[in-house]
Structures are given as structure tokens and as C-alpha cells.
Amino acid sequence: MAQSVAHKGKHSADHDHGHHDPNELKILGFWFFLISDVILFSVLFATYIVLRQNTAGGPTAEELFEMPGVIAETFILLTSSFTSGLAVLAMNRNQKKQLIGWLIVTALLGAAFIGLEVSEFVNMVNEGATFTTSAFLSAFFTLVGTHGLHVSLGLAWMIGLMIQLGKRGITETTKGKVTVISLYWHFLDVIWIFLLTIVYLMGVM
């Protein structure tokens, strides 16, 4: 009898262990991805800092940067980080509708951010400030564009996740995915604060 209970206990412990492992592994894998991303952005930031004065007689940061647009982008992205946090809270309360609702708001804010960034790039190019104009602009477009690409990938990922949540609801798997996308989104927010400081604010000072 005791043996059978022990066996059952062991079996359920094994079952629980197996049940949680894939998510834990995914989150661990995601942390490795984030670390590699931190290295990537560190290299891009370092390159930008080295090249930012090399304008080759072309337009300078001060002439190009339009701070009202940048402040709007910052406000939108910070708000989207907050709404992604609200999505996680809704998930923890098992509120599927609210979870999807907050993810929709987050995605819309992310799309607005990308829209502003694209229009900023288009305006620059129209003013003759292209990727090949100077080392400064090559570094600028690479750094800011890489961040924008990450936000776009995050949006695609979020839309896919909303579809999955709509079909399957809140499960262990979807919970893990919401946690990961929220971490990723906060990470992009932190990178943007560095961008705002090092690229834009230092550029116009």
C-alpha cells in the first residue's frame, strides 16, 4: 500500500516535472536570445558612438532630428510597455477577454510607433539624408532600424499569439508565450530609452 502511494507520488511528481519543463526551457532559451540581443545592440551602440561625428559634410544630427516626433514615439512605446504589463495581470487572473484586449492595445501602440519611425526615415531620405550619405547616417539607420525591426517582429509574434489565445484560451503553453512576449517588449523599451538618450538627446545637445 505504502509502496503504491509512493509510486503514485513519484509518478505525479514526474508528471508535474515533465509538465513544466518545456516552458522553463523556452524561457531559458529566450533569456539566451535576449543576452545575444544585448550584445548585438551593444555593438551597434558602440559603432554609432564612434561614428556619430563623421557626417562627411552631410546633415548633422542636430539638423535632422525632430524631437516632437521622437518624444511622441517614446510616449507611445512606454505606454505599450505598461499595457503589456496589464495583459500579464489579466492572464494571471484568468481573464481571457481582457488579456486579448490589452494585447490588441499594445499591438496598436506598437504599430503607431513603427508608423512614426517609418515617416521619420522617409522625411530624412527626402531631405537627402540616406544610408550612404555618411558614416553617421549609416550607423544611425542601422541602430534605429534594428530596433524598429525588433518591434515589427514583436508585433507579428503578438498577433499570432492573440489568434492562438482566441482558439485555445489561457493554457500553460499560452501563459509561457505571453510571459515571454511581455519580457521581450519591456526589453525593447529599455533599448529605446538608451536610443533616446545616446542618439537623439546627445544629437541635439
Collect contacts of 182-187 with beta carbons under 8 A, ≥24 apart: 182/84, 182/85, 182/87, 182/88, 183/30, 183/34, 184/30, 184/34, 184/154, 184/157, 185/80, 185/81, 185/84, 185/106, 185/110, 185/154, 186/81, 186/84, 186/85, 187/34, 187/37
Residue 46 sits in a domain whose CATH number is 1.20.120.80
Would you state the pLDDT for residue 194? 96
pLDDT at 187 over 60: yes
Residue 7 lies in a domain: no
Q: How large is the average pLDDT for residues 33-48? A: 96
Would you state the pLDDT for residue 168? 94
Residue 6 lies in a domain: no
Residue 23 lies in a domain: no
Contact by Cβ (8 Å): 162, 103: yes
Residue 140 lies in a domain: yes
Please tell me whether residue 165 adopts helix, strand or coil conformation. helix
Q: Determine the structural domain holding residue 111 and report its residue range.
A: 39-204
Contact by Cβ (8 Å): 62, 203: yes
At 106, which amino acid appears? T
Residue 53 lies in a domain: yes
HSE (side-chain half, CA atoms, 13 Å) at 70: 19
Q: How large is the average pLDDT for residues 135-164? A: 97
Residue 22 lies in a domain: no
Residue 26 lies in a domain: no
Q: pLDDT tens across 80-115, in order?
A: 999 999 999 999 999 999 999 999 999 999 999 999
pLDDT band at 19 (very low <50, low <70, confident <90, very high): low
Q: How large is the average pLDDT for residues 127-133? A: 93
pLDDT band at 22 (very low <50, low <70, confident <90, very high): confident
The total domain count for the chain is 1
pLDDT at 183 over 70: yes
Residue 114 lies in a domain: yes
pTM of the model: 0.86
Report the alpha-carbon distance of residue 149 to residue 33 in Å, rounded: 15
pLDDT band at 20 (very low <50, low <70, confident <90, very high): low
Contact by Cβ (8 Å): 102, 90: yes
